[in-house]
Structure 1
């Protein structure tokens, strides 16, 4: 590759800041546009006011600005078919088609797919929104708790509930039925057995035929320390995850990744782009909790820094089905990322709180912006998850210490963060 590629990156969160940061390191990058981006991405390229749900406008922008590649960060445009639309218009795009993105867009599709292609996962049943009484009867017949309720569609990581009692099942069914933010996603409900074990995630890059593991990580979804409280989009992550031993990763590759990629070919929905595989490491081996059709957030922020490959080269090779020519290279260090959130998240929270201290972090630490905006010359909060602070080290302990050392340098009113990111990994190592 010796061409300068103009790239349009779609998204505005910490994940997209991390992708922009990595793309910016490529010697083959021409102009990087981010739609809509955030104040962090504005330092790496040009933020543009473009509605990613208006696919015709995206095509017009690509043609007007000689875009050579579109990279899609969030799941909604992928599930809605942006890849199909752009490819039909001759615009190269990194990401799965609408049919392939159903792996994330419909939990029912994903479960039926896993059963069909013998991908290990939990037992389940599916109910429509007018069958919630039947769902309750099904749960009662099992007489086994915890049990998992999942909205079938996209719910920004907030449509999954682990219920420890019948009372909680009734409460969560009511939430799924009546919460206006969840009603569309919960038009169907997946009821799933609870899997005992430790969660981790593996990130795969695939070009429809060839696939490579990029890296692995462990997310911390609950708001409270010790994995307590409400689910969030993610309060921090570290990489690699010690629970994913070489033996387990071999099983993941052979029993999950290869069956998934081959299965999608057989479904005539060959998978291109990033495939996030959420795993539960059980006593009987790794099982799939969920598929996502893009980088995770906050996992992206800890798996891209150790990647020694040129991300733009990987993306171009994916669109041209040349991943068989490339091997993945990592620097061997650990990363720990801690999310700084607004007080009240994942419920209601204030905005407009001034953020200070980012300029004082260590040279080898990274701050990725998410829920931020510029107010005159001041950087202020503008979301629930505000920043991710990423530390590194040649041991997990050092990476964690480095992250928290830099977290302490950043301040805004009502700043909340978990103090136990990575502790499961330390316990496993010890």
Structure 2
């Protein structure tokens, strides 16, 4: 519902690739930018390109970096990109034996797309066995969980490293840090993300250079060698160990949510201009300009999120966006002219401040002007910024 109130934006209720292509042709759309991961994995970029339409995102073969955890792990192994030790399974018995041999903590991941909820960080062997049964026996993740990746539990601090790639050149975006757990102090179940802030102090200039050299450049080179040059946003979820070594937790072939909200709050360059350069293969001729301040976003989630979010609750917002605060909509829609919840993560209140604490205070103050029944949110987003 949020985009409908933005100037110059029209929501179009189209989902099928053929319908979107027809719309782009009939309306003379100059450029299409893909947001969600599912259309990328289904080949929307390939289809648009076949019709001669400009579209920003990786082709389906390259988008497997996100759509298949097993593909991503094999790709990293083949191109010496640092990541956790792992093994892939389709048979429950073999998976259970692996868990028993390795012990806990250990991480169980659905191979396919699962809307950010396909990862179980198991602190006990029993939790890991239950996750395997849920995915491989009970089909709890559907086709996404028909194959599982089980990998070692990594210790350290996470950071989100997002870049734009034009097939040849890399343009890094601002660093950020996501907060995956539902509750304060990083407790509760994993979610798609309960908040984020940018920049992330944990990513020092030295670590930034290391991420480019050890992770991003090998992806660019590997995709070129495979005949599927990567064009689009590339998100590397990194684990930074106490010794400052890095390992890749996951790849996304799109902007992250909720990292995008604080990143866009800080971006002073025109995003469309940057994407035009990416589509022309000239990212090396442009620089991105950033607000020096910290941006921080807090997600408001529906009751029951992440497992079974309640929908249809009436939302009341008694404040407006300004240059320092923006309320980004996600799981919202209009029913009989009433704004109501329609998904798990409902809104993301994002604010700018001189530091993470100031930005958080402004976001929390704004939260007081937003109400819907049993809303869930964290009050400690950005807490790690104080430690770095």
Does TM, scored on the shorter chain, surpass 0.5?
yes
Equivalent in 76, 82, 85 of residue 44 of structure 2: 82
Equivalent in 170, 177, 180 of residue 221 of structure 1: 180
3-state SS, counterpart of residue 114 of structure 2: coil
Matched, 1:139 2:102: no
Distance in 2 between residues matched to 1:179 and 1:360, nearest whole Å? 46
In the alignment, is the contact (CA less than 8 A) between 2:45 and 2:57 conserved in 1? yes
Q: TM-score, normalised by structure 1?
A: 0.87
- Shift, 1:349, TM fit: 3.1
- For 1:335, the equivalent position in structure 2 comes to 295
Matched, 1:305 2:268: no
Matched, 1:387 2:387: no
Structure 2: segments with no counterpart, 5+ residues: none
Distance in 2 between residues matched to 1:86 and 1:405, nearest whole Å? 43
Structure 1: segments with no counterpart, 5+ residues: 1-37
Equivalent in 285, 293, 318 of residue 278 of structure 2: 318
Matched, 1:278 2:240: no
Distance in 2 between residues matched to 1:361 and 1:407, nearest whole Å? 12
- For 1:415, the equivalent position in structure 2 comes to 375
In the alignment, is the contact (CA less than 8 A) between 1:361 and 1:406 conserved in 2? no
Matched, 1:260 2:260: no
Q: Deviations over 1:240-260 (max 9, x none)?
A: 111111111111111111111
- For 2:71, the equivalent position in structure 1 comes to 109
Distance in 1 between residues matched to 2:362 and 2:167, nearest whole Å? 38
3-state SS, counterpart of residue 216 of structure 1: coil
Matched, 1:352 2:315: no
Distance in 1 between residues matched to 2:321 and 2:30, nearest whole Å? 35
In the alignment, is the contact (CA less than 8 A) between 2:319 and 2:366 conserved in 1? no
Matched, 1:40 2:3: yes
Distance in 2 between residues matched to 1:179 and 1:328, nearest whole Å? 47
Distance in 2 between residues matched to 1:350 and 1:162, nearest whole Å? 25
In the alignment, is the contact (CA less than 8 A) between 1:39 and 1:374 conserved in 2? no
CA 172–247 in structure 1, closer or farther in 2 if over 3 Å, else same: same
3-state SS, counterpart of residue 377 of structure 2: coil
Over the aligned positions, Cα root-mean-square deviation in angstroms equals 1.4
- Shift, 1:180, TM fit: 4.7
The count of aligned residue pairs is 386
- Shift, 1:163, TM fit: 1.0
In the alignment, is the contact (CA less than 8 A) between 2:132 and 2:148 conserved in 1? no
Q: TM-score, normalised by structure 2?
A: 0.96
- Shift, 1:363, TM fit: 4.8
Distance in 2 between residues matched to 1:396 and 1:48, nearest whole Å? 36
- For 2:252, the equivalent position in structure 1 comes to 292
3-state SS, counterpart of residue 391 of structure 1: strand
- For 2:131, the equivalent position in structure 1 comes to 172
Distance in 2 between residues matched to 1:330 and 1:303, nearest whole Å? 9
- For 2:156, the equivalent position in structure 1 comes to 197
Q: Deviations over 1:174-233 (max 9, x none)?
A: 211255551201121111011110111111000000011111111111112111221111
Distance in 2 between residues matched to 1:291 and 1:326, nearest whole Å? 25
Equivalent in 1, 7, 13 of residue 49 of structure 1: 13
Distance in 2 between residues matched to 1:179 and 1:245, nearest whole Å? 44
